[in-house]
């Protein structure tokens, strides 16, 4: 009996589907073998974001200064408002914008705290850290939002690395020792079940927050003069960055979300070294006023209300767990309207320095 052959058009469609499925399988397999994300905080954060059924009402966005400074669990305990921290290393404002859109699709956001660290304001399009942007896009689930994120924030020459994550480690395909190590790490129960990453002095505490026990030793720093002064950072073309901050502002207005600019504190000796810090503060303050957005720069908070010393930092620019506890406690009071902002903050950093 002669088998009936399908029409050419159906066979062609079938072949296309087969090729697409095979390509997807090969890409997924290469990503699995070539990318070692067993210690990635962002992998855990994004998985938790997508899997949580608890409605997120308060969101923190920003760089590593953000995910080390604002503790969502503590914030919820103090305010009664569910919170989540979607900070990531070297997060630029284009990334913040697309993450915000991702959250809005599923959660009834009421407030967004956007960390305005000056280092990431004065970065042009070419100066952005796309390697760090990739750590977010790699874990975003397929959607039109993700597609737009990848295409609108990348040059054509960058598409291969951004759409095909394994391409960044392609040279290690012949390194059998590396492939074996990655495979073994990903077969562990901890990896498969998204258990929190625990390192020597820090760990993933949940909802995007990383708690650190490390403490700064300022006396061991002998190279203060190597830190980049604020005025040098402010010479960059910030048109690209500002365009995405404006998009975040407009999106929050459209969705009736309260937006607040915040700046997590840095170690005072560091700010004095790179100063005058007021150049950065005045720039962001003017931007906040033009956008009609409140701005809390915790570098200007009076010492009696936010006591931070070496024991509160893990390095000159990041809070440790104890420092984050102090900052989150103060932010909760501000969020609930329990304190007078003018009473708690100095009008400029110079005045704070003079008062010490």
CATH code, domain carrying 162: 3.40.50.1110
Determine the Cα–Cα distance for residues 51 and 253; give it in Å rounded to an integer: 27
Token pair 């095909």 in the structure block, residue: 164
207: exposed, middle or buried (C-beta count within 10 Å: 0-12, 13-18, 19+)? buried
Determine the Cα–Cα distance for residues 344 and 102; give it in Å rounded to an integer: 34
More confident residue, 250 or 275: 250
Residues 150, 138 contacting (CB under 8 angstroms):
no
Tell me if 18 is assigned to some domain.
Answer: no
Confidence of residue 240 (pLDDT cuts 50, 70, 90): confident
Determine the Cα–Cα distance for residues 313 and 214; give it in Å rounded to an integer: 8
- Check whether 72 has a pLDDT greater than 60: yes
- Check whether 203 has a pLDDT greater than 90: yes
Average of per-residue pLDDT across 127-136: 62
Determine the Cα–Cα distance for residues 296 and 353; give it in Å rounded to an integer: 17
Complete DSSP assignment for 80-143: S--EEE---TT--HHHHHHHHHHHHTTS---EEEEE--HHHHS--TTTS-HHHHHHHHTTSPSS
Average of per-residue pLDDT across 305-327: 96
Average of per-residue pLDDT across 267-280: 93
Tell me if 180 is assigned to some domain.
Answer: yes
Confidence of residue 321 (pLDDT cuts 50, 70, 90): very high
Confidence of residue 18 (pLDDT cuts 50, 70, 90): low
- Check whether 27 has a pLDDT greater than 80: no
Q: Which of 167-171, 203-207, 253-257 has the lowest mean pLDDT?
A: 167-171
Q: Which domain holds residue 70?
A: 45-355
Cα–Cα distance list, 11 to 18, 22, 25, 134, 208 (Å): 10, 16, 21, 37, 47
Q: Which of 152, 147, 236, 180 is nearest to 34 (CA)?
A: 180
The helix/strand/coil state of 268 is helix
Counting residues of the chain whose pLDDT is more than 70, the rounded percentage is 86
Confidence of residue 146 (pLDDT cuts 50, 70, 90): very high
Give the pLDDT of residue 17. Answer: 74
Average of per-residue pLDDT across 319-340: 95
- Check whether 1 has a pLDDT greater than 70: no
- The helix or strand, by DSSP H or E, that contains position 20, with its residue range, turns out to be helix 8-34
Cα–Cα distance list, 327 to 23, 186, 324 (Å): 48, 36, 5
Tell me if 36 is assigned to some domain.
Answer: no
Tally of structural domains, the chain: 1
Tell me if 12 is assigned to some domain.
Answer: no
More confident residue, 220 or 175: 220
Determine the Cα–Cα distance for residues 164 and 29; give it in Å rounded to an integer: 11
- Check whether 222 has a pLDDT greater than 50: yes
Determine the Cα–Cα distance for residues 222 and 37; give it in Å rounded to an integer: 34
Tell me if 9 is assigned to some domain.
Answer: no
Average of per-residue pLDDT across 88-99: 92
Tell me if 185 is assigned to some domain.
Answer: yes
Confidence of residue 176 (pLDDT cuts 50, 70, 90): confident
- Check whether 125 has a pLDDT greater than 70: no
Determine the Cα–Cα distance for residues 167 and 178; give it in Å rounded to an integer: 15
How many residues are present in the chain?
A: 356
Complete DSSP assignment for 23-44: HHHHHHHHHHHH---TT-HHHH
Tell me if 22 is assigned to some domain.
Answer: no
Beta bridge partners of 355: none
- Check whether 150 has a pLDDT greater than 80: yes
Peptide bond into 238 cis (omega under 30): no
Tell me if 15 is assigned to some domain.
Answer: no
Tokens of 221: 């720093």
Kindly report the average pLDDT of the chain as a whole number: 87
Residue 272's contacts (CB-CB under 8 Å, 6 or more residues apart) are: 353
Residues 284, 295 contacting (CB under 8 angstroms):
yes
Q: Which of 295, 233, 262 is nearest to 116 (CA)?
A: 262
Counting residues of the chain whose pLDDT is more than 90, the rounded percentage is 57
């Amino acid at each position: 009996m002669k088998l009936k052959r399908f029409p050419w058009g159906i066979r062609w469609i079938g072949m296309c589907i087969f090729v697409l499925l095979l390509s997807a399988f090969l890409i997924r397999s290469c990503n699995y073998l070539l990318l070692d994300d067993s210690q990635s905080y962002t992998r855990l954060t994004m998985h938790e974001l997508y899997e949580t059924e608890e409605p997120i009402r308060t969101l923190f966005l920003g760089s590593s200064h953000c995910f080390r400074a604002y503790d969502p669990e503590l914030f919820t305990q103090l305010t009664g408002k569910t919170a989540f921290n979607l900070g990531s290393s070297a997060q630029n404002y284009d990334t913040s914008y697309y993450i915000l859109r991702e959250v809005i699709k599923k959660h009834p956001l009421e407030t967004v705290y956007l960390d305005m660290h000056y280092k990431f304001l004065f970065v042009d399009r070419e100066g952005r850290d796309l390697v760090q942007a990739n750590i977010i896009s790699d874990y975003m689930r397929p959607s039109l939002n993700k597609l737009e994120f990848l295409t609108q924030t990348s040059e054509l020459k960058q598409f291969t690395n951004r759409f095909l994550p394994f391409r960044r480690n392609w040279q290690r395909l012949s390194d059998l020792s590396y492939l074996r190590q990655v495979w073994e790490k990903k077969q562990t129960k901890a990896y498969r079940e998204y258990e929190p990453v625990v390192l020597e002095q820090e760990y993933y505490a949940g909802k995007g927050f990383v708690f650190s026990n490390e403490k700064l030793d300022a006396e061991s720093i002998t190279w203060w003069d190597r830190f980049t002064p604020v005025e040098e950072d402010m010479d960059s073309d910030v048109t690209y960055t500002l365009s995405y901050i404006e998009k975040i502002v407009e999106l929050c207005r459209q969705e009736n979300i309260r937006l607040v600019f915040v700046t997590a504190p840095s170690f005072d000796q560091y700010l004095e070294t790179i100063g005058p810090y007021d150049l950065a503060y005045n720039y962001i303050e003017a931007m906040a006023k033009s956008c009609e957005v409140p701005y809390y720069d915790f570098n200007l908070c009076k010492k009696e209300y936010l006591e931070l010393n070496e024991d509160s930092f893990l390095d000159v620019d990041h809070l440790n767990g104890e420092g984050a506890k102090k900052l989150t406690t103060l932010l909760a009071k501000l969020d609930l309207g329990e304190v007078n902002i003018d009473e708690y903050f100095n009008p400029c950093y110079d005045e704070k320095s003079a008062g010490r």
